[in-house]
Structure 1
Amino acid sequence: MTAELPPDTHAETPVKYETMNVRAIRGLEARTRTKWEADGWEFVSQEQGTLRTELTFRRPKRPVPWKPLAVIGGVLVVAAIIIVVNVALAAGRDAAEPAASDAPSEVAAAEPEPTDEAEETPEPSAAPESVVLTAANNADLAALLTGPQDGPTVEAFASKYAGQTIEFDGSIGAMNTHEGYSTRYDILVPVGDYSETQSSGGPNFQFRDVNITSDLNLIGDVPNTIGVGTNLHIVARVGAYEPNSTLFLLEPVTTQVR
C-alpha cells in the first residue's frame, strides 16, 4: 500500500539578488570591501586592473511592501468615488434651479454696453424762462444794471436773455407821445431812483408804444397820474436792443409805483 505525500508547504522561495560593482584603487580593496559588507552587501568577486580593482557585491532584493500599497490604493479609490458623487450632486442641484441661474444673465443682457463715443453735454441755458431774473439771482443782470448804457455787454445780454423776465427798480426819465397818439407813449425807464443829475448806471430801457392804463399793468396803490420823476418797481420781458439809438426795449409785465 502506498500513500501520497502532501506537498511541502515549507519549500523555500528562490532568493533574488541585486548586484553592485565598485571600483577601488589598487591596495585599498580590503577597506572598500569592509565598508560595503558593513552596509549589508555580500562580496562576490573582484577583477584587478592596471590602476583600479573592480569589486562585485550582491544582496537580497527587498520585498515589495504590497500591503501598504494596497491600503493606499484603496484610500485613493474611495476618494475618487467621493469626488464623483459630489460632482453628480452638484450637477443635479444646478439642473433643479434653472431660474436662479438664468435671471442674472437676463439682467446683464439688459444693461447697455458702454461706448467709446463721447456723450454730448448740453450747454446750460441762460435760465429757465419761468424764473424771474433779479440782480440777486442773476450775475449778468446785476452787471447790466450797474454797467454802461451801451456796448457789447448790453447787446450780449439782450441776445442771451431775449424773451425772459427781469425785475428791477427804475423810474420814468422821459415820457413822449408815440407818433402823435394822445394816449400812447414812449417811456424812458432808467435804472434806480429818478435823478436829474446822477445816473445809477445801466442801459436806456424803454417802454415803446404803451398805454398807461392797459399796457403798463399797474398794480398796488395806483395814483391818479404818473409822469417824469415817478419811481417804479418793474417786471418786464426782455426785448430788442437798438445799437443806433442805444435804447433797450422792454415789454411791461407788471408795474408798481414806489
Structure 2
Amino acid sequence: MADEITYEYKTVQTVRGTDGLVISKLQKDGWELVEQAPGMLRSTLSFRRPKKPLPLLLIGTAAAFLVILTIVIGVASALSDGGEQKDASDESTAAASGKPSATSTPTAAESAATEVITPQNNPEFAALLLKADTCDDANLDFATRNKGRTIAFDGSIVNMAPHGDYATRYDFLLGPGDNGPKTGVGPAFKYEDVNIFDLKLTGKEIPATVGAGDRFHFVAKVGEFKANQCLFFLDPVSTETR
C-alpha cells in the first residue's frame, strides 16, 4: 500500500485586498490553499503542503551523533570531580586578582545606535519636524548621520499614489502632525514601492484601506535624503493607528 501523505499546515491573516498577493507567494513555495475565511477587516487563509521525508543519510548521521554524545558524557562524568576542584581554584584566583567578569556591557555608542529616535529624546529630530523648508540642508545632515537607525513620530499620509503600473504597490508621502495633504512643515518623508502589507499596520482598529489624511504613529528606518527631489526616504517598520 502506498505511503500516506503527511502534511504540514500554516494559517495567516491578511489585510482585505491583499489576499491574492499572499496566496500567490505561498503557492510558489509549494503551499496549497485549503480554506479562505473573509472577515470585516482581515481574511484568514489556511494552507497545507506535504512534509518532506527525512533523508536516510540524515537519520544515520543522527544515530552516530547520539553514540558519540553518550561517550563524551561518560568521559565528562569521570573527570567531573577533578574539574570541579580546578574550577573552584580558578574562581578564587580570579576574585583575588580583581579581574572583571567576561560579560561585557554595551558602550554608550552601541546603546545610542539601538535607541529609537523620537522628538522627545532627540532635540535635532524635534527641530527637523518643525522646519518649513522640505529642502533644508538639515534633512541631509540628519539622514547622513543616522542612516539605518530607527525613528518614530506621529504623522499623517500627505499623498498616496500607485507605484508605476502596479495596482497594489504604492508611493506614500508622509508628514509630521495631523494635517494630511495640508501639511506645511517638516521633511517630505517617502515610502517608495510598498504595498499595504509592508506598512505592518497595528493598533486597536486596523483599517481595511488607507489613504491621504489618515493619521498614524510611524516607525521607520532612516534611508537617504535626495536633495535634487527634496525627498527624505524611509523604510516602514510599523504603522500604528491613532
SS in structure 2 of the partner of residue 182 of structure 1: coil
Is 1:190 equivalent to 2:190 in the alignment? Answer: no
Asked whether the 8 Å contact 1:219–1:255 carries over to 2, the reply is yes
SS in structure 2 of the partner of residue 248 of structure 1: strand
**TM-score, normalized by length of structure 2?**
0.52
Q: Which residue of 2 aligns with 1:230?
A: 214
What is the aligned counterpart of 2:199 among 210, 216, 223? Answer: 216
Identity of aligned residues (%): 42
What is the aligned counterpart of 1:178 among 159, 163, 186? Answer: 163
Is 1:253 equivalent to 2:237 in the alignment? Answer: yes
| Greater fraction helix | 2
Asked whether the 8 Å contact 1:164–1:238 carries over to 2, the reply is yes
- Find the aligned partners of 1:182 and 1:196 in 2 and give their Cα distance: 22
Asked whether the 8 Å contact 2:174–2:188 carries over to 1, the reply is yes
Alpha-carbon deviations, 1:103-152, whole Å to 9, x = none?
xxxx9xxxxxxxxxxxxxxxx85972211011110111111111131221
Higher relative contact order (CA 8 A, sep 6+): 2
Q: Which residue of 2 aligns with 1:206?
A: 190
Amino acid at match of 2:196: I
Asked whether the 8 Å contact 1:194–1:230 carries over to 2, the reply is no
Q: CA RMSD in A?
A: 1.9
Q: Which residue of 2 aligns with 1:143?
A: 127
Q: Which residue of 1 aligns with 2:104?
A: none
Asked whether the 8 Å contact 2:180–2:212 carries over to 1, the reply is no
Rg larger in 1 or in 2? 1
Gap runs ≥5 in structure 2: 1-96, 98-107
**TM-score, normalized by length of structure 1?**
0.49
Q: CA deviation at 1:177?
A: 0.7
Structure 1 ranges of 4+ moved more than 6 A: none
